[in-house]
Amino acid sequence: MKAYRAALFALAIATGFGCGAKKEQSVAPAAPPVVQGATVVTVAAEDLADVQEAVGTVKARNTAPIAARIAGSVSRVYVREGERVGRGKLLAAIDAVESGAAAAGAVSGVEEAARALSEAQAQKRLADVTFERYSRLVAEQAVTRQEFDTKKTEQEVAAQGVARAEARLAQARQGARAAGAVAGYGRVTSPIAGVVVAKQVEAGQTVFPGTPLLTVEGDDGYRLEVSAPETLLGKVKAGDQLGIAVEGGAATGRVSEVVPVVDPATRTFTVKVDLPSHGPRSGSYGKAFFKTGSRKGIAVPEAAVVQRSSLTSVWVVSPDGFARLRLVKPGRAQGGRVEILSGLAPGEKVVTAGVEKMVDGAKVQ
């Protein structure tokens, strides 16, 4: 009897373990995650612009290279590169001993010429008075005609002396002004308001006329100067609006100038495009896009594109509402949209907002 009960107990235990195993094998798979709040749009073919791309460099519209106008030693430089300056701001000082001496000598020359003029005028007054007296005496026959003629000649000579003295004084004053201006060249000031972008001298350096000192870029804006292919010559004109990309950002610029001269080495010509007032600075790399036609293609918002390393993907939502990450081949980006060259077909749905919420296989609601 005891053996029978033990057998029944063992059978019950075995049966219990077997049922537990079957329950584990029959557990249903977990439900897929659900993503809410994502924006999904249907892709459609659209007219895309055919463009030609040209690269170039951002430059200031107004640049003032400042050079020395006199010889001397730079006594001080008052600004640093990157410093903003106003028009007329003192940038540097040049100690020009010779120019200062010349200015002082010119002032002395003016003073001497002024004294000579005063003496000539005094002689002229005396000659005038003497001539008037001899005019009366000759009428009274108190002096000879020859004596009268002598006094008349003296009066004329005195008048000529005054004229010469006046001319010498005017010349001396002109020389003094010129010498003063040259001496003033020792004060180097900015001709425009802007930013100091280059400093080519330091205090103590000897400079000569024409030696570069500093460069100031004006505050009146920047432009992108690109080398456009000669096939576009005659098709681009001032006032045209172009898509541009500078420092990784897209914008629109206006053509301000077209230089219709083709470089025989590169077969390109220069196009200057005014840039928005904020953002880029001179020296930045940029591109301009010239529209040459249109064609049918597919494009998606930039927000829909997922970039992981060198791979580009988009989240595609299947007809039954499940999201899958799909590799695509991107084309040109412009105006906030990216052309998709392959990997996506019209009629398919892609996620354009809420991309950061997506997981592969998620149910999109």
Question: pLDDT tens across 101-142, in order?
Answer: 565 666 677 778 788 888 888 888 888 888 888 888 878 888
pLDDT at 16: 46
Res. 169 pLDDT band, cuts 50 70 90: confident
* CATH class assigned to 53-60+219-293: mainly beta
pLDDT at 309: 87
Strands (E), 155-265: 187-189, 194-199, 206-207, 212-218, 222-229, 241-246, 249-263
First and final C-alpha spacing in the chain: 66
Contact 111, 131 (CB under 8 A): no
Res. 10 pLDDT band, cuts 50 70 90: very low
Overall fold of domain 35-48+297-364? 2.40.420
* CATH class assigned to 63-94+187-218: mainly beta
Residue by residue, DSSP assigns 21-82 as HHHHHTPPPPPPPEE-S-EEEE---EEEEEEEEEEEEEEESSEEEEE-SS-EEEEEE---TT
Strands 187-189 and 285-301, sheet pairing: unpaired
Query: What's the CA gap between 339 and 331, in Å, rounded?
Result: 5
To the nearest 10°, report the CA torsion of 325, 319, 347, 329: 10
pLDDT at 273: 94
pLDDT at 151: 84
Q: What is the mean pLDDT of residues 137-161?
A: 86
In terms of pTM, does the model score above 0.75?
A: no
* In the chain, where the domains are located: 35-48+297-364, 53-60+219-293, 63-94+187-218, 97-184
Q: What is the mean pLDDT of residues 278-298?
A: 84
Contact 188, 66 (CB under 8 A): yes
- Which tokens sit at 90? 């003192």
